[in-house]
Structure 1
Amino acid sequence: MTDTLFSKIIRREIPATIVYEDEDILGFKDIAPQAPVHVLFIPKHAPIPTLDDATAEQAPLLGRLLLAAAEYARREGLAQDGYRVVMNCREHAGQTVFHIHLHLLAGAPLGHFGTP
């Protein structure tokens, strides 16, 4: 796996506004937010390129990503009104950094998904 922008953020080589961190997961604000609250959650020690590359053995880590997003949403008071969690897989879905990550979007009504 190549070194990614997210790997550099994990190593603190590139600045980021970190809003969540535990042993396995890092959460930081997106630099091009798509909602009033837009936080990315990434694994710190297992840079899986895409969801399609994940294995059954990595299922607990994928679960930790989701739980970290939910914990952050509750802590920040976002859970009551609701939030969206999105994971893009490859270019056609909009993935631009090939280090698996979740987007947590919140802070305003997000609407419904439409047809492509």
Structure 2
Amino acid sequence: MFGITYDVLDELGDISSDTARNFTVLNNNLVSRMQNLYQMVCVLLTALGAGVIALSAARFYSYAVGNSEMMKKTVETEARLSEILQKLTNESAQEDSSDAVEQSADDRGEVETPIA
């Protein structure tokens, strides 16, 4: 057949089987590397998801703690304001009662003389 002997065909068969074997090895290596890459991507995505969850939990915790601190400060401020209001009310009531005593003394015609 066109000057090709069986020896040449046999040699071509060996070359093609070696090529097929090399291609199979290369293909297996490529598949293995793709699987490793896929596993690495999955691990990274899992770590990223866990990080997002951890940050969300930290934000919620800080928000909750921050709110409790704000509530404590608000309660303390309200207590201080109520004390100040109570003092002002007491002082105002005392001034009103002393004004009322002076007014009643003026109404009766009694005038207090200041002592020098």
Please confirm whether the aligned pair reaches a TM-score higher than 0.5, indicating the same fold: no
TM-score by length of 1: 0.19
TM-score by length of 2: 0.19
